[in-house]
Chain A
């Protein structure tokens, strides 16, 4: 499995660390809504198909990435920086290069 890091290009999955489900929304730290905290900690969508997930390029540039990967085929359709304000996808970068 290859993941195309927006900085480093396509790299083997061994350079990356899985950081889990990216669909969850962390409640405000001051929130005392126990249901929201429980849902954040324990509940998962677990789809068979495209899944939003966080990976870190821990063996490379160390960027935190948001990846859309198909859980049935391992096909990766999008890689972006996890932080919203750096939202350039690898696909866009690849297009810019060519």
Chain B
């Protein structure tokens, strides 16, 4: 699959870059497949890639309603980290981090993974103690974490005021050095190309309109491009989970869809070379390789499929940005966008067999789905291929709510709007 190399770049450059092959084909859907994956986002494409690579299952179709990169994989803030508290989350996200660390090599596609670190700022002694506890929990499971003093933070982020005179004085922070960012579009394109080269059909502009059934069993889908049968149907549609599951007759799910907005400023000279999160509110920021500051905050907080938000949250995010970096007050915001998040009731994802026979479900990513992309696809492919979860995703079942086994990292229970 190694088409991209120093030699091929040079050879194509000399020929005017006219001989590159398309990164993926545009096949018409076949009448049937071994596996259909609904949703051509990062998770769906990664699932297809790992089904082909790890399990040799290549008679697979990925059905995408729009075009690749039009959904959440192109609407996030590109941060990647594995700084969780609870063991189930830490193991899963650390598996993801390890896949990220080798992803460009594995895909032969530069996903621009940049381990620039992720720093959570503490502004109260209790918060600092909480971060120390989380850091210890991470290190127990082999994940890197270090506490930083205000002086160390000042050296890392010179623009940050760490004096007692700051609006919210910084008492310290928890740093994960291996965390960072990746180019979100490249992740989608790299997985798409990798899956395509192994025989997976990626079918764009193909909206699933219903499910084919044999009794209770799901045997395929009806789409805007005709009926397609499959032995196994996997659903990985993030914010649209509620809608798609209703097509299958599953009326209620432990999920609410909410919109999350994000923002980018005009390009600046190098300002910050890490991902920083603000502990007195919900704000996070990094600088893209193009120079724009990429940042976001809380979800809007009420059910929405709108892919656009409302002004109060814009106002809130900007105030938090200025509380942290007053010097950014005159920087212009270039763009804002909204993605639809499927907020689960405990803030953790669902990767599971079922809930109907012949169906597999991957959802509930809240607003942390991007960093999970590799492990989500890897675990979901394992679950689809073997009809049982890998130990990494075994705790992330759909029935954990009813069994009282929630994975509630934030401790905000059954209130999706608070996660």
Contacts and interface: CB of A to CB of B under 8 A. Distances in A.
Interface of A: 1, 12-14, 18, 20-21, 34-35, 38-39, 41-48, 51, 53, 69, 71-74
B242 A46 contact: yes
Contacts of A74: 304, 306, 310
A45 B304 CA distance: 13
B306 A44 contact: no
Given A51-B303, A53-B302, A42 B402 contact: yes
B252 A44 contact: yes
B310 A71 contact: no
B215 interface: no
A73 B301 CA distance: 15
B243 to A, nearest CB: 5
Contacts of B401: 38, 41-42
Given A53-B302, A53-B303, A71-B303, A42 B310 contact: no
B208 to A, nearest CB: 14
B252 A71 contact: no
A52 to B, nearest CB: 10
Interface string B240-265: 10110010000111111100000000
Contacts of A39: 252
B302 A46 contact: no
Contact of B414 (A18, A35, A42): A42
Interface in B380-402: 401-402
Interface string B407-419: 0000000111100
B318 to A, nearest CB: 14
Contacts, number: 68
What 7 A-B pairs are tightest by C-beta distance, nearest first? A46-B242, A43-B252, A42-B254, A42-B401, A18-B302, A48-B305, A14-B312
Contacts of A47: 242, 246
B345 interface: yes
Nearest to A38: B402
A7 B254 CA distance: 34
Given A42-B254, A46-B253, A20 B417 contact: yes
A41 B414 contact: yes
Nearest to A24: B252
B242 A48 contact: yes
A1 B314 CA distance: 13
Contacts of A21: 256, 303
A48 B255 CA distance: 13
Contacts of B240: 48
A53 B256 CA distance: 12
B377 to A, nearest CB: 24
A71 B417 contact: no
Nearest to A51: B303
Given A18-B301, A71-B305, A74-B304, A44 B255 contact: yes
Contacts of B303: 21, 46, 51, 53, 69, 71
Contact of B310 (A1, A44, A53): A1
Nearest to A43: B252
A42 B254 CA distance: 5
